[in-house]
Copies of this chain bind each other. A is one copy, B any other.
Amino acid sequence: MTFPVIGMVGGGQLARMTHEAGIPLGVKFKLLSDAPTDSAAQVAGDVVVGDYRDLDTLRRFAQGCDVITFDHEHVPTEHLHALEADGIPVRPGPRALVHAQDKGVMRARLTEIGAPCPRHRIVSDPADVARFAAEGEGFPVVLKTVRGGYDGKGVWIVRSAADAVEPFRAGVPVLAEEKVAFARELAANVVRSPHGQAVAYPVVESIQVDGVCDTVIAPAPGLDPKLSTHAQQLALKIAEELDVIGHLAVELFEVRTGDGSGDGTKVLVNELAMRPHNSGHWTQDGAITSQFANHVRAVLDLPLGDPRPRVRWTVMANVLGGDYPDMYAAYLHCMARDPGLKIHMYGKDVKPGRKVGHVNTYGDDLADVRERASHAAGYLRGTITE
């Protein structure tokens, strides 16, 4: 058999679930993990413990891998170029991945290809932030370090120039963006292979709490079918123009057009992620082919699987760590309450606010499906006790 070896950099839950999805596909999975206790390292057989920031470590890891892919976007771009120069297929490649690593590069490129974005520009200091505000609707303004942020980290909402000192401390270029008064957040997820085959998942609604994804509803309820198709086409276009291989999540703001009196909505691109993404976890139980299986298929240039939903509604709710460290009793309770609940635990120690798992529920009645997901997530966290 010549079933190939995938090398995945990063031992988080995305790698854990990618390994899970690769088992039935019969592919070999090799992991580069920071620690032997990391989420994915607990469940995979072929684990190298090492630092992805060290090129020699990456090079040794890549030996015997047919392709390298990623649990996160933190591998230095220059290391990825070095691996490519060594002849190792890197998917997504560094020329694509830089758009998910550097928000400045991402905004410039999206603007170039005509993808709708919030008003934005690189700013040099707090006074420049004030000028950026004055160029548009004024404060508040969103500031982001171009590299290193996720889940609300590296992002500030500032209400004045005096408020805008902190983001410049790290010495990383800072991107200013208008604070979009969005109606809601959406995500358009697609998967693309080196052949150029691509599939689009249904557009989903993503509900954030304190800057962290809380709930995803698939498909986005009440979304105008034309806007849905437009968002899918936009994501496919971004994947093609940026030459993304694997899963691409395009996080979107849905905003009202015109005077806001209901004459329509449009989308603006918020963020890109070039790996399996939290907004696609619903596909494990709600789609014919999960984002993880399709990511594996894409990076190996295998034909992609059907992305269509299996059921009318699927809801994903993240399980965050709460105040008590042992979730097992709550887990047992949730299984007893709802025999159709799909729990996905990451094997992580519980810390308050840390994502330690998610649940999926599905069915025909959206209110019921949402209630089941949010009850289970709340019960596991400890915010619901009955």
Contacts and interface: CB of A to CB of B under 8 A. Distances in A.
A378 B280 CA distance: 33
A26 B346 CA distance: 6
A206 to B, nearest CB: 21
Contacts of A3: 328, 331, 345, 347
Interface stretch (A76-84, A213-221, A335-343): A335-343
A180 to B, nearest CB: 35
A344 B20 CA distance: 12
A23 B292 CA distance: 14
B288 A328 contact: no
Contact of A42 (B45, B47, B302): B45
A25 B343 contact: yes
Contacts of A41: 45
A136 interface: no
A29 B43 contact: yes
A335 B297 CA distance: 10
Given A328-B2, A347-B3, A357-B26, A340 B303 contact: no
Interface string A317-351: 00000000111100110011001101111110110
Contacts of A119: none
Contacts of A349: 1
Interface string A244-256: 0000000000000
A306 interface: yes
A28 B42 contact: yes
Interface size class of A (residues with CB under 8 A): 35 or more
A383 to B, nearest CB: 18
Contact of A1 (B26, B284, B306, B328): B328
A302 B332 contact: yes
A310 interface: yes
A304 interface: yes
A1 B350 contact: yes
A345 B26 contact: yes
A289 interface: yes
Nearest to A333: B303
A336 B344 CA distance: 29
Contact of A340 (B42, B306, B339): B306
A375 B311 CA distance: 26
A16 interface: yes
A24 B339 contact: no
A173 interface: no
B305 A332 contact: no
28 contacts: A1-B326, A1-B349, A1-B350, A2-B328, A3-B328, A3-B345, A17-B23, A20-B20, A20-B23, A26-B331, A26-B345, A28-B42, A29-B43, A41-B45, A42-B45, A43-B45, A288-B339, A289-B339, A289-B340, A297-B335, A303-B335, A303-B336, A303-B339, A305-B335, A305-B339, A305-B340, A306-B340, A310-B310
Q: Which 6 A-B pairs have the closest CB atoms?
A: A26-B345, A303-B336, A306-B339, A303-B335, A24-B344, A20-B23
